[in-house]
Structure 1
């Protein structure tokens, strides 16, 4: 999966998007803070390959993108919109292939701009990045080649505080940021950060109206934070493989950034610092039961503004822990839903 697989929908219900064989399942709260309904399949009976992406607009609607098998040895990208987590999503709609036809070229990423239009990104056959976006009048525009070389599979698409779309990619040359200079404009290459990156460890968080903070691990396992225009800041040793989950939340009246990850020892760990003040220091705190390798971690705020942490195992077991009604960010006991 790519993107925030745990979301809060427009009516405050939490929902999750779970890979399941040749499909994507959605589960959602029956009411905000209440019991969870059973899973339902996204996009009807159409089959898709594992590795979907999820993006969410300011309207709360979820946009899902996945590869779908077409003819033997070939695939095409498809898109679905989910307006309410507890309702059925729209059918998968074909949006094409970055090289017109062929097999899968890499996991997709999707961001939704301030106007509610999805922007889909994927590595192309030449090792660069291609994109396609929804048109204001409906339908999809043409595929565009954003160039590049040696791009690693993981792409991070995010909508900044200004409502403009940004894309972060990594390669042997470092981390490249592409961004819109104006709303609905083309994505242009920006700053290239000359740094070594452990593949598959990028994650991004909008930390102000003007800035997005990118988190990544270097080959030695040091977790770092970077905001374009500055230098990367070493934070602490990554607790485990893969990217961290990140969220802004208020702790004791202060705007804080909370990071979460499955540790190499198998438990969820959390670390927090004042937002954009990483020099204040971070340390990991363990929580919850042991999780199998490959388990995913996500964090979100619920309809009451409480922090909710979630874990998802490869076999689809979903666990949640909500913030206690007391100062700080202590969580209540983890529950399987």
Structure 2
């Protein structure tokens, strides 16, 4: 799943959006902090290609985007909205193709602005990035080519604290960046970064009213944090491959950013540091059992604003959950199967 897949709904319940061979599944708490319902397949029997994306706006609605194969051997992007955890998500509806027709071109990314509009981004057939924006009263605006070249498949997008959308993409010659300067205008190319990250390691998080922080792993294996307008800061050696999951939370009265990643050991590694103060340093602490190579982790805040983490293993259909203990530091409870 491209994006953090553990989300809190408007009613305080958590929902996990999970991938299977040809579908997206969802599981939700029956009550905040309580037991979980069985998994449900989103969109009925529609078959989907691997690599869906999920995003959430301030209204707590979840937006899911994926590629669906077509009868002629091509693919079309589809979109679903999930309003509340205990309600069934809407069926997937077609969005079209950035090149009108053809096969899938890259892993989509989705972010939601302050008006609840989904912004869908995907690499197009020319190697750049295309965008589709949802209308406030239903439907979508036409596809827009945002430019770029030789963009790697996986993008990352986030809505800043003011609701403005930022998009990041990796390319062989650096990191490309698009930013929405005005909420009524499309994102435009902004300052990039002359650093070649490991493909598939980008993850963006709104860390203040002014800034979105991009996390990526560089070629030396260092997990770096970058906010446009400043130099990237090497934070810590990456615990493992792929992007981190990240969330802001209050720990002992301080605004902190918590990072989680499946480590090379197979366990889940956590690190925390004061938000936007990367030079204070961070270190990994591993937790839980050893998990298969396809396991992923996502972190979120529960109805009390406390840290909760989930680990999903598609090959075994396993979902594990842990929460922060009510004690100093980043101590976690024992992982539980849900």
- The aligned residue for residue 331 of structure 1 is 332
Deviation at 1:165, TM superposition (A): 0.8
2:144 counterpart residue number: 144
Matched-pair contact (CA < 8 Å) for 1:64–1:79: yes
| Secondary structure at the counterpart of residue 219 of structure 1 | coil
Contact 1:164 1:184 in 2 (8 A): no
Deviation at 1:49?
1.3
Deviation at 1:28, TM superposition (A): 0.3
User: How far does residue 114 in structure 1 lie from its aligned partner after superposition?
Assistant: 0.5
Tell me which residue corresponds to 1:191. Answer: 191
Deviation track 1:253-280 (CA, whole Å, cap 9, x = no partner) reads 1111111111101111111111111111
- Asked if 1 retains the 8 angstrom alpha-carbon contact of 2:311 and 2:320, the reply is yes
Matches within 5 A, 1:234-245: 234-245=234-245
CA distance in 2, matches of 1:19, 1:234: 31
What is the CA-CA distance between 1:327 and the residue it aligns to?
2.2
Counterparts of 1:1-337 in structure 2 under 5 Å? 1-315=1-315, 316-337=317-338
CA distance in 2: counterparts of 1:258 and 1:161, whole angstroms: 17
With the length of structure 2 as denominator, give the TM-score of the two structures.
Answer: 0.98
1:167–1:179 contact (8 Å) kept in structure 2: yes
Q: Matches of 2:251 and 2:292 in 1, distance apart?
A: 30
Mapped partners of 1:184, 1:95: distance in 2: 21
Query: Take 1:329 and 1:297, find their aligned partners in 2: how far apart are those partners?
Result: 16
Residue 220 of structure 1 deviates from its aligned partner by 1.4
Query: Which shows bigger deviation, 43-52 or 110-119?
Result: 43-52
Deviates more, 1:61-70 or 1:18-27: 18-27
Residue 238 (structure 1) shift? 0.6
Unaligned runs of 5+ in 2: none
Given the two structures, how large is their TM-score scaled by the length of structure 1? 0.98
Give how far 1:324 is off.
0.9
Q: Deviations over 1:10-44 (max 9, x none)?
A: 10000011112221110000000000000111122
Deviations 1:176-206 (A, max 9, x none): 1101111131110000110121111111111
Report SS of the residue matched to 2:7.
strand
Measure how far apart 1:72 and its partner are: 2.9
Secondary structure at the counterpart of residue 279 of structure 1: helix
- Where 2:190 maps in the other structure, the secondary structure is strand
Aligned length: 337
SS at match of 1:250: strand
The question of whether the paired residues in 1 share the 8 Å contact of 2:273 and 2:281 is answered with: yes
Checking the alignment, whether the CA contact within 8 Å between 1:27 and 1:86 is kept in structure 2 is no
The whole-number CA distance in structure 1 between the counterparts of 2:272 and 2:47 is 40
Between the aligned partners of 1:28 and 1:277, the Cα distance in structure 2 is 34
Q: Does the aligned pair in 2 maintain the 1:214–1:226 contact within 8 Å?
A: yes
Q: Aligned partners of 2:285, 2:44: CA distance in 1, in Å?
A: 41
Counterpart-to-counterpart distance in 2, 1:218 and 1:34: 40
Equivalent residue of 1:2, what SS?
coil
CA contact (8 A) 2:168 2:175 kept: yes
Please give the alpha-carbon distance, in whole angstroms, between the structure 2 residues aligned to 1:9 and 1:232. Answer: 33
Spell out, residue by residue over 1:254-311, the C-alpha distance to the aligned partner (whole angstroms, 9 max, x if none): 1111111111011111111111111111111111111111210111110122210110
Question: What does the per-residue CA deviation read over 1:195-243, in whole Å, with 9 as the maximum and x for residues that have no partner?
Answer: 1211111111111000011110111101111000000001111110001
Q: 2:148–2:176: 8 Å Cα contact kept in structure 1?
A: no
